[in-house]
């Protein structure tokens, strides 16, 4: 079992990784929109969208659930 200090340290590490990922998503969003908007919905686009949005949803739920 983690101590209060260990839990707090893990939370800080989680938040720092999430901040880096959010920065990456926001800085590449314009390129993604330029490429993906012009394409029709296909299996590849659905998989890409799931892979791109899935981690954001997972990280949000992880932070909310504690």
Given this model, what pLDDT does residue 66 score? 65
d(CA 24, CA 10): 21
DSSP-assigned states of every residue in 3-33: -HHHHHHHHHHHHHHHHHHHHHHHHHHHHHH
Given this model, what pLDDT does residue 8 score? 86
Cα–Cα nearest to 23, from 11, 13, 15: 15
Instruction: Answer whether 36's CB lies under 8 Å from 48's CB.
Output: yes
pTM: predicted TM-score of the whole model, two decimal places = 0.69
* Greatest alpha-carbon span in the chain: 51
Domain ranges for the chain: 4-65
pLDDT at 1 over 80: no
- Tens of pLDDT along 11-64? 888 889 888 988 998 899 899 888 888 889 999 889 988 888 888 888 888 878
């Amino acid at each position: 079992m983690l101590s209060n200090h260990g839990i707090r340290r893990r939370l800080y590490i989680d938040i720092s990784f999430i901040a880096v990922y959010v920065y990456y998503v926001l800085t590449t969003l314009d390129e993604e929109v330029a490429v993906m908007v012009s394409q029709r919905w296909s299996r590849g686009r659905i998989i890409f969208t799931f892979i791109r949005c899935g981690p954001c949803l997972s990280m949000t739920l992880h932070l909310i659930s504690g």
